[in-house]
Amino acid sequence: IQTQLLCYSVLKAATQKFSCKNLLGQGGFGDVYIGYINHCTMTAARPGGGYAVAVKRLRKKGTQGDNEWLNELKFLARLNHPNVVKLIGYCSEREHRILVYEYMIGGSLEAHLLKDDDAELNWRRRINIALGAAKGLNFLHTLGRPVIHRDVKASNVLLDAVSFCHWSLGFTRQIWTQGDQSHVSSRILGTKGYFAPECIGTGHLTLKTDVYSFGVVLLEIFSGNCAAKKYSNGLEGNLVQWAKPYLSNKQDIRSVIDKRIGENFPGEGAQEFARIILQCLCTDPTGRPEMREVVANLERLEKICEAEQS
């Protein structure tokens, strides 16, 4: 493991004794705090000074929690990709199990989509975010031992200061495939609205279940709506069922595309984006593209959009 081993006292000071004021979020396996460290010396810095980091402290649950923490540590330590959140350090001192990541000042994609008026999230930036997220997921899918993320959603797409996106990988989200097996059986971990149809009944997870969930994220980027809400046709919590009929007809695409994009309505680009979304959301998993194909399609979409806006 090449990441830095950090003392508990350093992380305690960096987060102001894990103050509630520093709390960024809470999850099933632990809480995440913002902290500040001196990058060169890896010592605690004053609040607002030094290098901002996200400090994830595992909530102890016996030896099972330790195993999950160790799995994430080993997994994240070997990852190096611009679209995956970087693990900076860790602490394994006495009963403390802590992971330290680079801090994403831009927050989550979900938070941006929930804003009533986000001028930064223009059409071109949405395409850039979609492409970056696709590249990060493709990286996981094409490792020597391919990894199923299994919790692909907008809140796990984090943005930095210039809206460059990075995947957040949390406790027990990722699953390694074994050899040439076609699927992994596991309890469903994720959020309502993102599940692929085939995994709900069987619990079977494949790379293609990630692709489906990514299709939902693309639809959120396209529409500005979240996966779980009540829609005009009474379909509560199912963005996919609401949007699919409109995406299939190019005359109806305007009904789905985010109104915040305003007058910059992209004609050919919107149709291409809708086509990519529908491919990912294919009910039959064999009909879904691999992530490398999604990347190629989004790169082509980026060129179309550049031509439309030039």
Largest Cα–Cα distance of the chain, in whole Å? 62
Structural domains of the chain, ranges and CATH numbers in brackets? 4-102 (3.30.200.20), 107-309 (1.10.510.10)
d(CA 153, CA 176): 19
Rounded distance between C-alpha atoms, residue 28 and residue 246, angstroms: 36
DSSP classification of residue 15? T
Identify the pLDDT of residue 1: 43
Nearest of 214, 207, 283 to residue 244 by alpha carbon? 283
Give, for 158, the enclosing helix (H) or strand (E). strand 157-159
Q: Are 269 and 123 in contact (CB under 8 A)?
A: yes
Q: Report pLDDT for 300.
A: 96
Residue from 151, 180, 258, 284 carrying the catalytic annotation: 151
| Of 121, 241, 217, the residue nearest 167 (C-alpha) | 217
What is the per-residue pLDDT for 183? 47
**Per-residue confidence (pLDDT) for residue 201, from 0 to 100:** 74
Q: Share the mean pLDDT of the chain.
A: 85
For position 231, what pLDDT does the model report?
56
Binding site per annotation, positions for ATP: 56
- 210 assigned to active site: no
Provide the strand spans (E) within 20-156. Answer: 23-26, 30-38, 43-44, 51-58, 87-93, 96-102, 107-108, 147-148
pLDDT tens digits in sequence order for the chain, 310 residues long = 467 899 999 999 999 999 999 999 887 678 999 999 998 888 999 988 889 999 999 876 655 567 777 777 887 888 899 999 989 999 989 989 998 999 999 999 999 998 877 667 889 999 999 999 999 999 999 998 888 988 899 999 999 887 788 998 765 455 655 555 454 545 555 677 898 998 877 778 899 999 999 999 999 999 999 887 655 555 555 899 999 999 988 889 989 999 888 666 678 899 999 999 999 999 999 999 999 999 999 999 999 988 877 7
Predicted local confidence at residue 213, as pLDDT: 96
Q: Residue 64 has what pLDDT?
A: 53
| End-to-end CA gap in the chain | 46
Strand pairing category for 4-5 and 23-26: unpaired
Q: What is the pLDDT of residues 218-274, one digit of tens each?
A: 999 999 998 876 555 555 558 999 999 999 888 899 899 998 886 666 788 999 999
